[in-house]
Amino acid sequence: EVILSVKNLTADVDGTPILKGLNLEVKSGEVHAIMGPNGSGKSTFSKVLAGHPDYEVTGGELIFRGEDLSELEPEDRARSGIFLAFQYPLEIPGVSNLDFLRVAYNSKRKHLGEEELDAFDFDELVQQKLDVVKMDASFLSRSVNEGFSGGEKKRNEILQMALLEPKLAILDETDSGLDIDALKIVSNGVNQLSNPDNALVLITHYQRLLNYIEPDYVHIMANGRILRTGTKELALEVEERGYDWVLEAAGEVV
Ligand code: ADP
Ligand code: MG
Ligand code: MG
C-alpha cells in the first residue's frame, strides 16, 4: 500500500518559496530517512505535512492513503493516522501525562468510530506501552513535558507513538541535539514500532542515528527538493564527502 505520495510539491512560507518540487513515495513497511544541509526545507516539509498554518501549499500533490491531505484540518490529519512528534512537545502544567495521552488516544478512536476506553482500560493499555520505552510509571502522573529532560521528552514521544499506532510517523530530529541516550531511545522505539502496516519518515542530520535504525531508503534534500535517493550507503557517503557533490550532480548551484 502506498501510504504517502508527494508529487511536485511546492510550498511557501510568508510568500517565499521553500519547497520547490518535492517528490516522495512511501509504502507500508518502509523506513525512509531524509537528510540534507541546513535550510534545505526538511522541517518545512514536516510542517506542511502537519498542516501548519504558516506554510502554504502552492502546487503539486500531497496524498495520504488515497486522501488529499491539503483538504484535511491539522487535527484530522493526526486522527487519520499521521504522527508528527513535534505536534505534542508543549509543556502543559497541571495536566497529567496520563490524562493527556488518554485524550489523544480516545480522540483517535472516536475518529475511527470506535468506543473510547475508560480510565481503567486505558491505564492497562498504557502500562503495556511503557515497556516499549522502558519508562517508569511515575512518569505518567507528572505534568505533560514539564521539567522533562531531553531524553524523557524523547521517551514520551515514542510512548505517544506506541499508543497512537500511526500509519505514518514523521520524526524530525534535526534541531533537537540528541545525545547518545536519546538516540538509542528513539531508535529502539522506532525499531520496535515499525511493522509491515506502517511507515516511518525520519528527518535527521545524524548519520549515526542510521547505525541504529536501518532505513530502506535515504533521501538527500537540498533547495526544497529531494535530489538523490539511495540506501544506507548513501548516508555514509555524504558523511564522508559532504553534500556538495549531490547538488552538483543534480545540476544545482552549490
Ligand atoms: P531544514 O529543516 O532543512 O534545516 P527548514 O525547513 O527549517 O530547513 O528551512 C528552510 C528555509 O525556510 C530556510 O531558509 C528557513 O529560513 C526558511 N523558513 C522556515 N520556516 C520559516 C518561517 N516560519 N518563516 C520564514 N522562513 C522560514
Ligand atoms: Mg534546520
Ligand atoms: Mg529542520
Q: Which-ligand-closest: CA of 39?
A: 1
Centroid of ligand 2 to alpha carbon of 203 (angstroms): 10
pLDDT tens digits along 54-107:
999 999 999 999 999 988 988 888 888 899 876 555 677 788 889 989 988 998
Evaluate: CB of 227 within 6 angstroms of ligand 1.
Answer: no
Type of residue found at 88: Y
* Sign (positive or negative) of CA dihedral 225, 227, 229, 233: negative
pLDDT score for 89: 59
Centroid of ligand 3 to alpha carbon of 167 (angstroms): 22
- Give domain limits for the chain: 2-249
**Over the chain, what is the mean pLDDT?**
89
Position 210 confidence tier, pLDDT thresholds 50, 70, 90: confident
Evaluate: CB of 175 within 6 angstroms of ligand 1.
Answer: no
Evaluate: CB of 127 within 6 angstroms of ligand 1.
Answer: no
CATH architecture of 2-249: 3-Layer(aba) Sandwich (3.40)
Position 179 confidence tier, pLDDT thresholds 50, 70, 90: confident
Evaluate: CB of 42 within 6 angstroms of ligand 1.
Answer: yes
| Percentage with pLDDT > 90 across the chain | 54
Mean pLDDT of 161-171: 91
What's the per-residue H, E or C state across the chain? CEEEEEEEEEEEECCEEEEEEEEEEEECCCEEEEECCCCCCHHHHHHHHHCCCCEEEEEEEEEECCEEHHHCCHHHHHHCCEEEHHHCCCCEEEEEHHHHHHHHHHHHHHHCCCCCCCHHHHHHHHHHHHHHHCCCHHHHHCEECCCCCHHHHHHHHHHHHHHHCCCEEEEECCCCCCCHHHHHHHHHHHHHHCCCCCEEEEECCCHHHHHCCCCCEEEEEECCEEEEEECHHHHHHHHHHCCHHHHHHCCCCC
ipTM (interface predicted TM): 0.93
pTM of the model: 0.90
Beta pairing class for 92-96 and 143-144: antiparallel
Q: Given a cut of 70, is residue 175 above it in pLDDT?
A: no
Residue nearest to atom 15 of ligand 1 (CA): 39
Evaluate: CB of 52 within 6 angstroms of ligand 1.
Answer: no
Mean pLDDT of 183-190: 82
Centroid of ligand 1 to alpha carbon of 70 (angstroms): 20
